[in-house]
Amino acid sequence: MCGIHAMISTDANGIISSELKTLLSNRGPDHFGQICRELPFEDGDSVTINFTSTVLALRGDHIAKQPLTSPTTGSVLCWNGEAWRIEGQSISSKNDGELILAKLDAADATSDEARESHILNILRNIDGPFAFLFYDAQMKRLYFGRDRLGRRSLLSNQAEDGNSISFSSVADVPAAGWVEVNADGVYSLDLGARLATPHGLRLNTHTVKYDWISSGGGDMVSSIGIFNMALPPPEHKLDFNSVSVETLKHWLYESLKLRVLDIPEPPNPLTDVDIRVAILFSGGIDCTVLARMVHDLVPTNQGIDLINVAFENPRQVSIGKTLPHQNASDIYEACPDRVTGRKAFAELKSACPDRYWRFIAVNVPFEEAMSHKLKIVSLLHPHNTEMDLSIAMALYFAARGTGNSYINKCEWEPTPPSVNSPARVLLSGLGADELFGGYARHEAAFKNGGYPRLIDELKLDISRIGQRNLGRDDRIMSHWGKEVRFPYLDEELVRFAISSPVWEKCDFQNQFHPAVIDPAKRVLRLLADKLGLPIIAREKKRAIQFGSRTAKIESTTGRRRGTAPIIST
């Protein structure tokens, strides 16, 4: 994980603000670096490019100091992300940024067109979450973009006078016009050209977009694969031994291997136990399946943190009110995610008794939540709805990882020790609902239009996930020097999921007895059952803002819509 920034300007100074330096350093606390390139024109004018990168070192055996530069051409790469595979080959044991720069700069091309084709071919064949800025010194061209699913943040900002354009992982001044770079391809900016006007030099900021791929038709999803539009055969029956369950298990293990193995030990850990991975843990099926499978992969001498967040929401819980918990003094234990979290924690301990599990109960008082609101709103930008805020608030405090520790007992205790998770890798279950039909609107789509309507809804959800969620979540959680990884959004797993028949993912046509299993995310529930998690396999879906009680936390009536703009006060 890194913080990346570039300012292209006709002003040679091009200095970034101290606030932005701090924000970038929060994302990458292991290294701060800057490099400047000046592009002179024949008439004496010039354009200056100032690159800034900060590094959270999680790959390879050393800190790869950024910005990365080519010793032969002077090209510059600012890399924020994880390349798990390049051209289908795993690179989990190497530093991905250094390898990518070497590949980008290795073009043995006789023309600019051939060199550009080489660069685009490298970028198109990377699997993993990333955002990047690559300045090709030979062609005087800046390439930039985000991965196909938009799992890493990248913003751009064009100055009103046309004399500068900036790119950044995070915005410093929300009112300054930052917008999110679309996760729909590679963009390029020709810096060898400029416009001379009566008012001085202006940048020629016309960008060229190169689609991730140029074919696939209307059923292609995020340039990853073709969505299966097939309808089920008449009178199809539920198959509890479905091949899809074993295939999902295989690809989820493969995804997790890349994301939880070979993580370096955190610097200056505050615990005697080696803990490198934490899971954002609501107790729902998505995150609990991840925890159970991570147990099979991570060495037994390492612990795993389960971070569960709950809020004091004055609209739903009054201070001093008797709660449906045996120790009514703790208002947080009534939060739905705390209830399911403790239940899932107990089931994991029973299924995997030889693992050091640590349940971290993050309790956020209303006043503390409000004291961080302005910071969260700033990190959210350019997202700005009440729903964005309620989701971001839960992720923000969960990623901080400070809470009460439970190890031996799953139940509430009056004086548990306070801890801070040392893990710098966070796992999120995001993506499972979009891929396997876990939202209430998926069931509603089926009721209103059968499988054709459900297929359209699922296809729409996974196609727009980058624009709706992931850049926002990256900006929020990376603020704490943590990297969030999404095992369900691995390209190979996504390709399997979208190519699977819809009735094998969520079989709403067959009626289920609650004692058997629920139709939403059917394939994932069957997998949980096979992994020895029968209770969690039957747990209902609950959105994070409702489970943690951040939804409408400031509203006295609860009538304000989630799509409404954030109240600034």
Active site residues: 2
DSSP string, 207-244: EEEEES-S--GGGEETTTEE---PPPPTT----TT-HH
The residues, ordered by sequence, that sit 6+ positions from 124 with a Cβ below 8 Å of its Cβ are 186, 212, 213
Contact 254, 492 (CB under 8 A): yes
Contact 407, 358 (CB under 8 A): yes
Contact 136, 74 (CB under 8 A): no
Question: In 3D, which of 27, 116, 33 has the Cα closest to residue 80?
Answer: 27
Q: What residues form DSSP beta bridges with 40?
A: 46
Could you give the CA distance from residue 168 to residue 188 in angstroms, rounded to a whole number?
16
Both tokens of residue 335?
Answer: 């939060």
In whole angstroms, how far apart are CA 295 and each of 247, 303, 341, 421, 532? 19, 9, 17, 18, 13
Question: Which DSSP letter does residue 385 get?
Answer: B
Could you give the CA distance from residue 291 to residue 282 in angstroms, rounded to a whole number?
11
Assign 302 to helix, strand or coil: strand
Contact 84, 90 (CB under 8 A): yes
Q: What residues form DSSP beta bridges with 33?
A: 53
